[in-house]
Structure 1
Amino acid sequence: MIHKEDFDQRLKELDWTLYRLAKEFAEYRAVGGDISPASRYHSSISKAIESPGKSRLETIEDIVQVLNGELTILWEAEKVVTIRLEDETLEALKQRAENHGKTINEIAKQLLLQAMSGFTAQKSKQLNLVMAEEAKIYRSFHPVIASAYSAVHQWLSEIPEAKGYKELDYSEDISDSLDKADLKSTAFQFYALFARNYFEVAHILDNVINSTRLVHSIKYNPRIYLLDVGCAMGAATAAFIEKILTLPKEGIQSKRIEIVCVGIEPNIYSYAIYKKMMQELQEKIKPFNIFLEFKAINEPLSQATLTTITYLKNKLNDKDSTVKALSNFFW
């Protein structure tokens, strides 16, 4: 039988909060790329962990899967329930070993001992902990986007005004954070909502924009204009950039692709995070022959509209530009 302590130990090993588990659970259960907010599952997961024996098997099985484990029932002479936990991926083990100045074997042994300490030694139980080299991934950030996203979090972690933003609880603090105008609350929104907004836009782009048609357009006019109103710290822009990064290379292999992006954000702190995200992406996509130019606007919508029109007119009148029309315009 699975006990509450088993889950508590696993969460401690992974250094996950209950909110982090609910967030991963929501992504695991996403259908067609549509990811529900973590708050939808927070309460049910909390109850399942508190009383595993009274919870639906489907819920328990999904929680175990999200925790990189596998729930198996073996029918033998005696009923034996085996929980096989697939721990960190090999890459994650390497990273942890580097961070702690230890070998991979030492880290693996440490994780094994930690996992085993959460289970009571009983004859009716059998524990197998299997170190796995691959984790199951259903949808994830493009590596370039993931790198930029991590860089923004690193930047935020070094700002005193944002200290502790990852420790806020989604179910209790997200509504309040949306009403506040301070860096810590805005950083928490970036942490809690960026992925959901990103994957929602990525799903829409996958189903709305025909890749073949986009490749054809870029082939003859390799400049794209993107207007992001209420840019929410760059989630939609990042998803669009992923779309360009993953286009078939035939026909645009040697093309220099330009993305001219205008982001309008009235919240000064969201505006700052958006600028940082764009700066990171700007550098990271250059090796792919994709060049991002962005204009971040922190003004009320009426004034921002005029600023945008002026900016785009200047782009069209740029003497160094051979493109004199706003083709390939997305907003």
Structure 2
Amino acid sequence: MPHATDNRPTSLLAMGPGIADRLLTDHHRARLAALTRTDPYLVAHDLTDPSPEVAAALAEAEVLFTCWGATPLTAEVLAAAPRLRAVVHAAGSVKHHITDVCWERGIAVTSTAGANALPVAEFTLATILLANKRVLHSADRYRALRTQHDWLAELDTSGNYRRTVGIIGASRIGRRVIELLRPFDLDVLLYDPYVDAPEAARLGVRLAALDELCANSSVVSVHAPQLPETHHLVGAAQFAVMADGTTLINTARGSLVDEAALLPELTSGRLHAVLDVTDPEVPPADSPLYGLPNVLLTPHVAGSLGNELHRMADHALDELERYVQGQPFADPVRAGVLPHSA
């Protein structure tokens, strides 16, 4: 009796060293092997100078399953992958490795940017609520005083009731933050030149000019993409109109904030900040940011990490299953939107 033909597509894992072991559990690898013809433990770290085993797998691959550190898919790489039809990216932005040649070849692309947006939005929500409660200030003062104190009087202007939160950028993450803020008694302003009034109404926010948003918000949170036109989007002019005690949150990219203009406002204590990203990404060892009590400085941890990577793996495998079943991706990446996205 002849064997049934195996019509499953071939796939290849392609990502930076060590990523696959953090991203994929044994369950994920088993699901990958069930959906496609692949060695779920073979990972291509470099497609420009592949080992013979990787080169053979690349030549047969119909789908690349990528994550952080994937090799850019240049014309030379794609020439070695004549059967490639799709890229499933188990992370956010695809700008690092998806090239114009991919679009010219008609390669379908999807990413798990939506899954990666959730932990960033959760981090942002938590820090917004803590900022309005002045938790950093209280913890620092409590540590210093170590005695009975009239906290009610000192924190009389704190709280989250009817505060205004300003969101800069209705990106995927910005929209998720807006969604998470809905159950709270907060008013939300939005600055985004690509959002019109009807869309703002659907989001439940009020559009505002950038300076108006900064002047009227107790917390300003940055969620715009890193583009030439967003370089130092928030700078001296915006800090000047912020009220004393305003908190700036940046979980986007450090280049969106003019840190040279921000530092004097922070060292004076006039403004507060939650900085998960900086420019440069690791501040110099002598940066004042490390020691300021009004700054929460974290090492780019708002996005997926730890077991949150498994959420991205689940979503990527869901997309791969759609591809195997001949269905369109639920969250495709379009070439036309990349110039205005992260």
> Is TM more than 0.5 here?
no
TM-score (norm: length of structure 2): 0.30
Q: Per chain length, whose mean CA-contact separation is higher, i.e. which structure has more relative contact order (CA < 8 Å, sep 6+)?
A: 2
TM-score (norm: length of structure 1): 0.31
Higher helix share: 1
